[in-house]
Amino acid sequence: MRRSSNSWSYVGMKVSKRDHVSLAEGASKHSCDITVTAPCSSSRVTDDAGRPRPNRSHILEHCEPSRSSRYTANMPVDVDACVTSNVHLSDDYNVVRLDAPKLAVSIQPGQFVMIKPIAGLEPLLRRPFSIFEVLTNRNGVRTGFALLNKRVGIGTELLYSIEVGHRIGCLGPLGVPFTVVAPPHEAWLVAGGVGLAPFLTLAADLRGHGTATTLFYGGRRSADLYYLDAFTQLGVRLVLTTEDGSQGESGLVTAPLERALVASAVSAQPTLYACGPTPMMSAVASLATAHGRPCQVSLEPIMGCGMGGCYSCVVPIRKSGNDPAHLVRACLEGPVFDGQRVVWDRLQHVA
Amino acid sequence: MDLNVDIGSLRLKNPLIAASGCFGYGVEYAEVVNLKTLGGIAVKGLFLSEREGHNPPRIVETPAGMLNAIGLQGIGVHRFVAEKLPDLYSQGATVIVNICGSTIDEYVEITRILADADGVNAIELNISCPNIKAGGITFGNSAVGTSEVVQAVRSVTKLPIIPKLTPNVTDIAGIARAAEEAGADAVSLVNTFLAMAIDVETRRPALSNGVGGLSGPAIRPIAVRMVYECSQAVTIPIIGMGGIMTARDVLEFIIAGATAVQVGTANFVNPNLWPKLLADLKEYLSRHNIERVQDLVGTLELTETQVWNSS
């Protein structure tokens, strides 16, 4: 279903949640016509030829230099990306592939794009999406990327029904990526539901480093677990759970994770990566702390611009220990954060 | 073709300004926008001290617009001068610093600090944020309060002073007139409209603050009317804003009486809309044989029956 004559490497993503807050959904769901069928093209957003790249450390307000310097690795571009395929995984989920070589060239695992499925005023704002796959041609050259979409509102409904040949405004790549660990460290990825999104790209990158990788992946039922073959082909060990017991262990994904942490040899040195519902990420971060393991989480706040302009996507982060929390912009200083720096009680309160 | 416009003693290279609260401190956009090509950048509103702002959710999308209640999260004037201003200055940006105070003394104190800094081209007085309880709008809600703030700030700086007016009043032209009489160099309008959106499933407001400010194309016709109304009441320049997405929208404000415009919400949708706005503006001027954009300001043609004055 997801294979073509082209080969591509896998990249991860998560689904936009901002659609949940669209109040005008009922009235406007059918008010937008998708009419753009112009030839595929892309253009660089910046006209800054020759200008030195700005120093990101002036932009970030609460970040360590190491993170900000990593962010300087790429610059966002704005492209009109042509839809090359739209595969429906279920009545709710689909994967949209986009032709966007200029954007794809600098994508790092954990980064996101701001997309606008149609021109016009409804919906007005772009939606944040994690990058699900990086697409490459036969020569390994990056040609585009894919989005995993779950329809929950106006924007995601449009993306679910988008037709091949249409163009989607894509601004990115944006955000602080995951820090990829190398042997002797192991990588344990913990995904809940659509939180699988950023992990395909991360797993591909980890395997490129030769890092032993395990995916703990929980869903409500067997049919909610996607892309298992893709992870298996990357050599990722799978630990599956479903709430109804229809596949893997019955219950929540944190149960086998905790057992594994208790049983893990000191030599395994796992680094945890988590994406999913906030309670799950909070529990994973707690387990990581209890077992003295590092944990990176990918947060999904409501986002307005993705550029740091609007201050909508703030999340409560502390610098260290018991420092007071700051509300920091997830688009610039995240979406990937050290799980131990997230003030989870407050995040759940405000989310 | 001459795109320069004058805001008091400040000459802008073109009439397009990034609106406060919609462009961070400017530096966030340096990767995708050549900052020195903008007419100006109105940076995010600054208090004397750092402010945390409101809890999320801070925005919600509504038809052709959005509500926000950020709560003026900000790094305070000292950190702005130390951390952001040098970068803006070195990139050649024309910087309009938007300031907010809980008291008149706070406005004055912030102005003194900015007047001593390199790279500040003008001061926009935020007396109109609908999302904070104390300060700002307390002054902007009345002609007397507006006058007091403008006079106090006027007494400590020669920088152009631009009070930013709220539309949430009965007589915005009267407030513009009070600002002019108190010594303002220009007025900017409109700030957002106080508004509310409700999640009917939970019966709770969509924003944590309960209410927020509506911006975007939804408000544009009201903003255009208010710019026209104020243009009939004052002789100082007007900086118009409210839902500008295209050059056509820019022109509407200019014809209504705005000398310059600010673009806000559209930044969120398309952060690099500026080159196209400018190109389309030039195309219009060329097509209409208008040599100077200033010659287009307030050129609305009215028949006798269309002449309208609110006061």
What pLDDT digit, counting tens, does each position of B83-106 carry? 999 999 999 999 999 999 999 999
Catalytic sites of B, residue numbers: 129
Residues 6+ apart with CB under 8 A from B186: B7, B8, B160, B162, B236, B237, B238, B239, B259
Residues 6+ apart with CB under 8 A from B81: B113, B114, B117
The whole-number pLDDT of residue A13 equals 34
> What amino acid occupies position B43?
V
Could you tell me which chain B residue has the CA closest to the CA of A75? B31
The whole-number pLDDT of residue B134 equals 61
The whole-number pLDDT of residue A5 equals 32
The whole-number pLDDT of residue A33 equals 28
Q: For chain B, give every domain's residue range.
A: 5-296
Does pLDDT of B53 surpass 50?
yes
The CATH class for the domain spanning B5-296 reads: alpha beta
Q: Which fold has domain A178-294?
A: Rossmann fold (3.40.50)
- Asked if the interface predicted TM-score (ipTM) of this complex is over 0.85, the answer is yes
Comparing A264-268, B109-113, B160-164, which segment has the lowest mean pLDDT?
A: A264-268
CB neighbours of residue B200 within 10 Å: 9
Distance from CA of A181 to the nearest CA of B (A): 29
**Among the partner residues B37, B57, B63, nearest to A122 by beta-carbon distance:** B63
Query: E strands along chain B, which residues?
Result: 5-7, 10-12, 16-18, 40-46, 59-62, 65-68, 95-99, 122-126, 161-164, 187-189, 193-195, 198-199, 204-205, 212-215, 238-241, 260-263
A-chain residues near B73 (CB < 8 A): 311, 314, 327
The whole-number pLDDT of residue A292 equals 94
Could you give the residue ranges of the DSSP H alpha helices within chain B? 76-79, 85-90, 104-115, 137-140, 143-154, 172-181, 220-231, 247-256, 265-269, 274-287
The whole-number pLDDT of residue B4 equals 98
Q: For chain A, give every domain's residue range.
A: 2-69, 73-174, 178-294, 299-351
The rounded distance, in Å, linking the Cα atoms of A288 and A272 is: 7
Residues 6+ apart with CB under 8 A from B310: B171, B173, B229
Does pLDDT of A199 surpass 50?
yes
Name which of A21, A305, A343 to mutate to probe chain B: the one with the most chain B Cβ atoms within 10 A of its Cβ: A305
Q: How many CB pairs under 8 A join A and B?
A: 150
CB contact under 8 A, A24 and B55: no
Model confidence at A71, pLDDT cuts 50, 70, 90, reads very low
B-chain residues near A46 (CB < 8 A): 31-34, 272
CB contact under 8 A, B62 and A349: no
Does pLDDT of B146 surpass 50?
yes
A-chain residues near B195 (CB < 8 A): none
**Among the partner residues A308, A309, A312, nearest to B58 by beta-carbon distance:** A312
pLDDT digits (tens, 9 = 90+) for A329-338: 999 999 999 9
**Among the partner residues B55, B199, B272, nearest to A46 by beta-carbon distance:** B272
Could you tell me which chain A residue has the CA closest to the CA of B218? A121
Model confidence at A298, pLDDT cuts 50, 70, 90, reads very high
CB contact under 8 A, A307 and B32: yes
A-chain residues near B270 (CB < 8 A): 78, 169
B285: Cα within 13 Å, side-chain hemisphere: 22
CB contact under 8 A, A125 and B268: yes
Distance from CA of A234 to the nearest CA of B (A): 35
For domain A299-351, give the CATH superfamily: Dihydroorotate dehydrogenase, electron transfer subunit (2.10.240.10)
pLDDT digits (tens, 9 = 90+) for B175-220: 999 999 999 999 999 999 999 999 999 999 999 999 999 999 999 9
Does pLDDT of A252 surpass 90?
yes
Phi, psi at residue A114, to the nearest 5°? -100, 120
pTM of the model: 0.89
Model confidence at B291, pLDDT cuts 50, 70, 90, reads very high
Does pLDDT of B76 surpass 90?
yes
Model confidence at B290, pLDDT cuts 50, 70, 90, reads very high
Pick the CATH number of A73-174 from 2.40.30.10, 3.10.129.10, 2.70.70.10, 2.60.40.650: 2.40.30.10
From A7, A8, A230, select the one nearest A104 (Cα to Cα).
A8
Q: What is the 3-state secondary structure (H, E, C) of A235-286?
A: CCEEEEEECCCCCCEECCCHHHHHHHHHHCCHHHCEEEEEECCHHHHHHHHH
Sign of CA dihedral B295, B297, B302, B308: negative
Does pLDDT of A290 surpass 80?
yes
Model confidence at A61, pLDDT cuts 50, 70, 90, reads low
pLDDT digits (tens, 9 = 90+) for A27-55: 332 333 222 223 333 333 333 333 334 44
B-chain residues near A76 (CB < 8 A): 31-32
The whole-number pLDDT of residue A29 equals 29
